[in-house]
Amino acid sequence: MNIIKVQDYDEMGSVTADYVSEKIQDNPEMTLGLATGSTPKSTYKHLIEAHQKGTSFKHITTFNLDEYVGLKPNDPNSYHYYMNKFFFQHIDIPSEKAHLPNGHSRNISQECEEYEKKIKSHMIDLQILGIGANGHIGFNEPGTSFESNTHVVELADSTRRANARFFSSLEEVPTHAITMGIASIMSSKEIVLLVSGEAKSEALERLLSGEEPNESFPASILRSHPHVTIIADKEALMGTGIKL
């Protein structure tokens, strides 16, 4: 795993956006895997700026990692809404090329199967990932099988609490989500993991500690992927022994 060290959250966004923009220039029809949460927001901000300076997203295809079950796409807490607000509506990607799982489908297991099929038919060239404080990637909580494809998960209490800041109350945070599985994520040709802030420092330390991949710490699987770049800021690196 390569590590790119950055000073702060904003620099993480600009470095990641430059990295992604270069990949798009090399391959304008690439397939990009996208994440939500607080971490990638600065990346989207800088990618929008890149678009204003000429980068086109017209021919790329995107797949998001996850979506809450039970929220309609126009619900302000859904990841559909998030992606439109923070990224898609500001760039030139045709809406039919931007894929997210449909958490409001009547048949959630069928939705998972279809989403997985779509991912497999495209092959993700570059997947952007965040990490949960408990090591989750996407919504794959500790204990998730490394063989998992897109599936429904019951969210860990700690994850619901961590994400409650986006909702008016903890009760409103959905109990379930659809997420790409660990195997779906690992099938990406390349992965860029973004780690920002002190709250993620323990998880980053554990990831870098040399621990063998094990299902109790989902992010540990990344150690066995051939092409992972971690972009981490100073606060996240604190405690890992890695100096900027």
Binding residues vs ligand GLP (CB under 6 A): 35-39, 65-66, 130-132, 138-139, 159, 163
Strands 151-154, 176-179: pairing is antiparallel
Given 64, 102, 134, 140, the catalytic residue: 134
Cβ-proximal residue to ligand GLP, closest one: 130
Shortest reach from residue 64's CB to ligand GLP, in Å: 9
Instruction: Output the smallest distance, CB 200 to ligand GLP, in A.
Output: 7
Q: Catalytic pick from 141, 149, 163, 233?
A: 141
> What's the closest the beta carbon of residue 26 comes to ligand GLP, in angstroms?
26
Q: In what order do the strands lie in the sheet with 31-34?
A: 2-6, 228-233, 190-195, 126-129, 31-34, 61-64, 98-99
The nearer residue to ligand GLP, 91 or 194, going by C-beta atoms, is 194
CB of 219 to ligand GLP, least distance (A): 10
Question: How many angstroms separate the CA atoms of 65 and 149, rounded?
Answer: 11
Q: Give the DSSP H or E segment for 115.
A: helix 108-122
**Helix or strand (DSSP H, E) at 193:** strand 190-195
C-beta separation of 24 from 57 below 8 A: yes
C-alpha to C-alpha distance for 119 and 15, rounded to whole angstroms? 26
Q: Given the residues 66, 67, 111, 116, select the one marked as catalytic.
A: 66
Closer residue to ligand GLP, CB minimum distance, 55 or 79: 79
The rounded distance, in Å, linking the Cα atoms of 160 and 151 is: 18
Q: Say how many CA atoms lie within 13 Å of 120 toward its Cβ.
A: 10
Q: Is 136 a catalytic residue?
A: yes
Closer residue to ligand GLP in complex, CB, 60/153: 153
Write down the least CB distance from residue 51 to ligand GLP, Å: 22
Residue 141: active-site member = yes
Give the burial class of 191: count Cβ atoms within 10 A of its Cβ; 0-12 exposed, 13-18 middle, 19 or more buried.
buried
Kindly tell me which of 59 and 202 has the beta carbon lying closer to ligand GLP.
202
Residue 66 appears among annotated catalytic residues: yes
Distance CA 218, CA 140 (A): 7
Catalytic residues: 66, 134, 136, 141
